[in-house]
Structure 1
């Protein structure tokens, strides 16, 4: 019986003691380990399975952590984590107080650069390589592993463009599996496909034209071929580029055959690969589906409507419209800046543009939001999915900054719907002829109305821009909530002894604020509580404080929301509890006001 090699490996030093002939066995054990853990603990599966051989080869050939290795995005870094001193705690991956689902500098010396958003690896590795040159360390190796979806982003090309005119000692490894979360798109994807198929003449190699020593494409799941090439490239100085062909989900048949679903499949049977179904009967809809179904319905009635997403057609549910109207719905790849300015160009020509970008990813296009959209007052409709706390993906993915970074932009309307009906209605209202850009932010996960589709879908009502709504009258304290977190307020008020003391107002519009309603509230109540699922600093509560200061109100104001720190991974319920905005937290806070 063969001994378990993986159990003997604590770090890459142990790995490098193995005979090369043992590495295929190790690859199988590592793949099985990842499958068994993710099957029960959930997480990103397909990407890490596809690079098992590459991961082993990198740590086998290079002297990590002295040689510096950066994984782009980090979805594919599970094997890396397991081989670098975290095997025994890998089961805590993406859990509260556990290890991060992405590489983090504070977690391990082997995580040389923190990642989570795409296309940063080449710039980071180039910076490290230049720093090594400046320090006189010309032998150190610097390696970036980037996927074919990520390399199409503008920042990756900025890094390649700079690296090609330096003598920096770096190696860019293209993990080409033709898919990110959804299938890769664009002309670069077609170019890479032609290279793989041998249709592109060697002298017309675009990477070689950028002054890189190009090699490949080779089979990235052939561990011996990868090791041989890495050993050869290790001896070559300057910028190098290795093109690897891998299979996302390698080693699990279902993951290979359905790469989109098995990117992050949830719980599944580790032996058969079958996903364990979750009962969705009688559950509220996902907010993303409310968006997707609503925009499709609106697009059927208005041919000027177009939809745009940067590489998230499934996650945003824009795929509904893409399937029905492929010429009016666009996946532009991992290119948020391009998505925003493309939207601006279309809006400038009279199209009604719904630009769906996850809140955390809109940060990557902030300049374009200001200069190309808001400055020109173009009525682009930004649909910010995954706003607020998003759970297990952690600090790189929480959409908690959008209220603060959008609120300061002139001409911008900001709306946070309370529930599915309000999301549907603001999506409808936005295409009636707004004179300004609007950002509509809504959370990850499910809403609160069990039979929304049958009871409310398509029954649109226009919303008055800038108008707040009183959800509940009260006598002593006013609670001002913005967005879906207001549902926590409603649940908490139902649990306290004296709910009649509290009024509850829904400020769906963070900008413009309903100042008429605020004057009424400040005249009537001595105590005011604001609550949001964004950062307290600069957010909705800050806007209320600014109003109070401007008009010299002296009411006591308590601000609840995300504190001034980066929030790590955990379930949304756990993170809301830690941030003091869960139903239980609010019940305690409201009860203290009643005493």
Structure 2
């Protein structure tokens, strides 16, 4: 066993090439064991084993600074930099995050979870180095489709201009999460096919030096090129061809499926979680949009590198043909593209995770909402119950989107409302429409939604009462139901329950009417309180005698939290809310 002797990067430097090969095999076994039990990013890490070992053999981290783009491919780096126990010992699996983290190690320089940023960040490290007249190497690793993001081009442009030591490692596995899209990737293929010798070379055209490594799993090739570029006095791209999922047959054959995964059976590749009988909004949305495409050739589904978010598997992408567009990992472009399609009479539907939509604020406000173009944006995992890494939080969408003029942001509470809203959003021509896709499973009310959503900001009273009104938004509507039931059964209070449906506006007529028989209004929202939905309600009642309690999540950067614990911490259980209500009205 070689891995048990690796306690620092210095130990890697003592190994021969054959020993590094054995170490790589051991690392893959360790990765597969943890990933099969814990889940995580599978393909990206299996594909970068030799590259990472070779980096630490040649360079001197942390003096030489390595920045991983997205950093979901940094597991091997963590194993080699003193954190191997978190991959070997199941009791310590959660002691490290799935991304680089300076709090864990001085070998990590940034918390990184969004894409296309490594070159820009590395440019900053290099500039500070040069200002201090130091001489360490700065290495930016980019891959998994990250070159499709606009910031990657900005970083490359600046790196070429700076004209100093900057080593950009392009980990080219011919994949994003799904297949790569875009003109740049055609050039990467030409470079791979010609072993880096074709006349058209994007990186050279940018003013960068260039090296190609045909086999990114061959230590002799890797070590040779890294030694050539170590301590170089100008910016250089090292283009390395690797295999995503290397060493695990299932991951090599189905790279998209094995990009990230839940725990699985190592021998068969079968998931440990059966989802076959469970409906989800992604799959349902994919079916709905594909049917809409067949009826209307102007309907187009857009993704920024995550087609699975709204159910566009390989088969559906093929069936949709030109009515499906993957722009690569380029969320800003996706929003502007959607606006352009809508402006010219098309019906654009963009599906995106909330955490990645944060990258698009300028395009949402400038390109889409100022022009008031009727594109539809489906926002996924915008919830306490969504992704919970500090780099992937989806809780900030309400404050960001609901305060942009012209945007209509809707929050369905059930399947019937969701598809009614989607149908309306795709058929109307008056507004940009975003829908906060429910994140707590597919709930059916059993009642057809006949709401006319063109009559903006009209809330629905689902239970009439007095004294207390509970306005429960989106995913927290079920919590509102529980609170109202508890008030009735345990305290004899028949509270009013309201489903607001609209995040972007208030129903002034309804809110005014509550003043007659109500003393207290409760707002519940599955997001950050500051700048959120509840504050709009509180502001309306400010000059009056109405008391308002806003419930949501305190503004803070959360990391790998337990949803139930976070709910309790923010007094978001039915028991706690009822306690607060009773203490005020009695």
Report the number of matched residues. 582
Question: Are the aligned partners of 2:381 and 2:387 in contact in 1 as well (CA < 8 Å)?
Answer: no
* Aligned equivalent of 1:547, options 540, 557, 563: 540
**Shift, 1:485, TM fit:** 1.8
Corresponding position of 1:188: 184
Q: Flag as ranges the 4+ runs of structure 1 deviating above 6 A.
A: 91-97
Corresponding position of 1:225: 221
Report the Cα distance in structure 2 between the residues aligned to 1:577 and 1:96, rounded to whole angstroms.
25
Question: Are the aligned partners of 2:414 and 2:438 in contact in 1 as well (CA < 8 Å)?
Answer: no
Task: Say whether residues 1:153 and 2:149 are aligned partners.
Answer: yes
Report the Cα distance in structure 1 between the residues aligned to 2:526 and 2:91, rounded to whole angstroms.
20
Task: Say whether residues 1:290 and 2:287 are aligned partners.
Answer: no
**Shift, 1:344, TM fit:** 1.1
* Aligned equivalent of 2:131, options 134, 137, 158: 134
| Within-5 A mapping of 1:245-256 | 245-256=241-252
**Shift, 1:76, TM fit:** 0.8
Report Cα offsets for 1:32-66 as digits up to 9, x if no partner.
11110111111111111100111111122111111
**Shift, 1:558, TM fit:** 1.4
Q: 1:103 to 1:592 in 2, by over 3 A?
A: farther
Report Cα offsets for 1:331-376 as digits up to 9, x if no partner.
1111111111111111111112112222111221111111111111
Corresponding position of 1:525: 518
* Aligned equivalent of 1:238, options 229, 234, 237: 234
Question: Are the aligned partners of 2:68 and 2:118 in contact in 1 as well (CA < 8 Å)?
Answer: yes
Corresponding position of 1:558: 549
Q: 1:411 to 1:70 in 2, by over 3 A?
A: same
| Larger relative contact order, structure 1 or 2 (CA cutoff 8 Å, min sep 6) | 1
Q: 1:251 to 1:574 in 2, by over 3 A?
A: farther
Q: 1:315 to 1:562 in 2, by over 3 A?
A: same
Corresponding position of 1:436: 431
**Shift, 1:505, TM fit:** 0.9
Structure 2, unaligned runs of 5 or more = none
* Aligned equivalent of 1:345, options 327, 337, 340: 340
The alignment partner of 1:326 has SS state of helix
Task: Say whether residues 1:568 and 2:572 are aligned partners.
Answer: no
Task: Say whether residues 1:506 and 2:499 are aligned partners.
Answer: yes
Report the Cα distance in structure 1 between the residues aligned to 2:239 and 2:424, rounded to whole angstroms.
48
* Aligned equivalent of 1:64, options 52, 61, 83: 61
Corresponding position of 1:278: 274
Report the Cα distance in structure 1 between the residues aligned to 2:92 and 2:432, rounded to whole angstroms.
37
Corresponding position of 1:303: 297
Corresponding position of 1:482: 473
Report the Cα distance in structure 2 between the residues aligned to 1:24 and 1:198, rounded to whole angstroms.
27
TM superposition score normalised by structure 2: 0.93
**Shift, 1:408, TM fit:** 2.1
Question: Are the aligned partners of 2:470 and 2:484 in contact in 1 as well (CA < 8 Å)?
Answer: no
Report the Cα distance in structure 1 between the residues aligned to 2:202 and 2:507, rounded to whole angstroms.
55
Report Cα offsets for 1:430-449 as digits up to 9, x if no partner.
12324111111124452223
Question: Are the aligned partners of 1:120 and 1:155 in contact in 2 as well (CA < 8 Å)?
Answer: yes
Question: Are the aligned partners of 1:94 and 1:393 in contact in 2 as well (CA < 8 Å)?
Answer: no
Q: 1:211 to 1:260 in 2, by over 3 A?
A: same
Question: Are the aligned partners of 2:184 and 2:202 in contact in 1 as well (CA < 8 Å)?
Answer: no
Report the Cα distance in structure 1 between the residues aligned to 2:42 and 2:568, rounded to whole angstroms.
28
Report the Cα distance in structure 1 between the residues aligned to 2:236 and 2:151, rounded to whole angstroms.
18
**Shift, 1:512, TM fit:** 2.4
Q: 1:523 to 1:102 in 2, by over 3 A?
A: farther
* Aligned equivalent of 1:366, options 361, 367, 370: 361
Report the Cα distance in structure 1 between the residues aligned to 2:234 and 2:293, rounded to whole angstroms.
51
Task: Say whether residues 1:397 and 2:392 are aligned partners.
Answer: yes
Task: Say whether residues 1:386 and 2:386 are aligned partners.
Answer: no
Report the Cα distance in structure 2 between the residues aligned to 1:370 and 1:142, rounded to whole angstroms.
36
Report the Cα distance in structure 2 between the residues aligned to 1:296 and 1:89, rounded to whole angstroms.
43
Report the Cα distance in structure 2 between the residues aligned to 1:264 and 1:575, rounded to whole angstroms.
25
Corresponding position of 2:162: 166
Q: 1:430 to 1:391 in 2, by over 3 A?
A: closer
**Shift, 1:81, TM fit:** 1.6
Q: 1:151 to 1:159 in 2, by over 3 A?
A: same
Report Cα offsets for 1:2-43 as digits up to 9, x if no partner.
xx2212222213323333431111111111111101111111
Q: 1:514 to 1:108 in 2, by over 3 A?
A: same
The alignment partner of 2:524 has SS state of strand
The alignment partner of 1:366 has SS state of helix
Corresponding position of 2:50: 53
**Shift, 1:392, TM fit:** 4.9
Report the Cα distance in structure 2 between the residues aligned to 1:136 and 1:445, rounded to whole angstroms.
53
Question: Are the aligned partners of 1:97 and 1:570 in contact in 2 as well (CA < 8 Å)?
Answer: no
Question: Are the aligned partners of 1:414 and 1:510 in contact in 2 as well (CA < 8 Å)?
Answer: yes
Report the Cα distance in structure 2 between the residues aligned to 1:322 and 1:518, rounded to whole angstroms.
45
Report the Cα distance in structure 1 between the residues aligned to 2:100 and 2:43, rounded to whole angstroms.
17
Report the Cα distance in structure 1 between the residues aligned to 2:37 and 2:580, rounded to whole angstroms.
36
Task: Say whether residues 1:515 and 2:508 are aligned partners.
Answer: yes
Report Cα offsets for 1:394-451 as digits up to 9, x if no partner.
12212111111122211111111112211111001112324111111124452223xx
Q: 1:498 to 1:474 in 2, by over 3 A?
A: farther
TM superposition score normalised by structure 1: 0.92
Corresponding position of 1:31: 28
The alignment partner of 2:470 has SS state of strand
The alignment partner of 1:431 has SS state of helix
**Shift, 1:272, TM fit:** 4.0
**Shift, 1:321, TM fit:** 5.5
Q: 1:456 to 1:76 in 2, by over 3 A?
A: farther
Task: Say whether residues 1:106 and 2:103 are aligned partners.
Answer: yes
Task: Say whether residues 1:269 and 2:268 are aligned partners.
Answer: no
